[in-house]
Amino acid sequence: MSSSHAFDQAIALTPLSDNLYRGATSDAFQNMVGPFGGTTAATLLNAVLQHPQRLGDPVSLTVNFAGPVGDGEFEIEATPLRTNRSTQHWLLLQKQNGEVVTSATAFFATRRDTLSEQQLSAPPAPSAGTLQRVDISIRNWFKQYDFRFVHGIPLMPRPADQPADTESLLWIRNHPERALDYSSLTALGDVFAPRIFLLRESFTPSGTVSMTHYFHATSDELAKAGTGFVLGQAKASRLHSNYADQVAHLWSEDGVLLLTSTQSVYFKE
């Protein structure tokens, strides 16, 4: 592995045999229980990206967080379930001590030029350079990102005259800077805190159970985004009986929609 960036180290995998890889959790991306889910998702995607049978680029990825990932080594089984002429479906299982801790499915495809239409514009936001970096250092992984909030900082009390709102809008990028690619975009799609934090204005035990990314970005669009910030918007539609959804979008600095992402998130009460 040539890159010394902490993110590349965190998602690095060693091939063990056909369809089998070994990786290890990273202190730099430690969350409250186990690693930051975005790193786990990016590591699973990475197994496909470096698989010798891989066809095309990621279009969709679903990651199911089945159980806590313990500190240390894990294995990833990456199995191509079905390969068509220009599309490929994958099953990914992350295991520790023989037990599934994360499952995922991914869909890859070769993409061609077609009609191109963006229906959802980036929300108006002051440029990242005019906003203060929020220094949240209570979890290791926070330090690996540069967060610049426009609104919706989790856990912050809101003015008494303001209605409950679960929307966050913020600029984000890797810290230190790192050029955007499918791996880092995958992780960036998971940087939004549980929406329950915005309703409660205080900590509630909570965690993502399933996350789905749709990659709009083609490789040339990622190259163009470079080391720039991405603008992220996330909001919940409903929070009910222990589970909430989250619908999120990420745009490049020049307003290109790169990712649509959804999550189902557990919350305790």
Residues at the site binding its own copies, with contacts judged by CB under 8 A: 59-60, 62, 64, 66-67, 81-82, 84, 87, 89, 91, 93, 99-101, 103-105, 107, 109, 111-120, 164-166, 196, 199-200, 209-210, 212, 214, 216, 218, 235-243, 245, 247, 249, 257, 260, 262, 264, 266-269
Q: Which of 96, 77, 80 is nearest to 88 (CA)?
A: 80
In contact, 148 and 127? CB cutoff 8 Å: no
In sign, the C-alpha dihedral spanning 72, 264, 269, 197 is: positive
| Least distance between its own copies and beta carbon 165 (Å) | 7
The single residue listed with the structure tokens 């250092």 is 137
Is the Cβ of residue 146 or residue 165 nearer to its own copies in the bound state?
165
Query: What Å distances lie between residue 128 and 152, 170, 258, CA to CA?
Result: 15, 8, 17
114 φψ region: left (φ > 0), alpha (ψ -120 to 50), beta (else): beta
Is the Cβ of residue 117 or residue 161 nearer to its own copies in the bound state?
117
| Least distance between its own copies and beta carbon 269 (Å) | 5
By CB atoms closer than 10 A (0-12, 13-18, 19+), residue 229 is: buried
| Least distance between its own copies and beta carbon 268 (Å) | 7
In contact, 13 and 51? CB cutoff 8 Å: no
Is the Cβ of residue 103 or residue 174 nearer to its own copies in the bound state?
103
In sign, the C-alpha dihedral spanning 13, 18, 20, 22 is: negative
| Least distance between its own copies and beta carbon 9 (Å) | 28
Peptide bond into 176 cis (omega under 30): yes
| Least distance between its own copies and beta carbon 54 (Å) | 16
SS3 of residue 109 by DSSP? strand
Is the Cβ of residue 6 or residue 106 nearer to its own copies in the bound state?
106
| Least distance between its own copies and beta carbon 116 (Å) | 5
| Least distance between its own copies and beta carbon 159 (Å) | 18
Is the Cβ of residue 101 or residue 187 nearer to its own copies in the bound state?
101
In contact, 107 and 88? CB cutoff 8 Å: yes
Is the Cβ of residue 12 or residue 153 nearer to its own copies in the bound state?
153
Is the Cβ of residue 68 or residue 226 nearer to its own copies in the bound state?
68
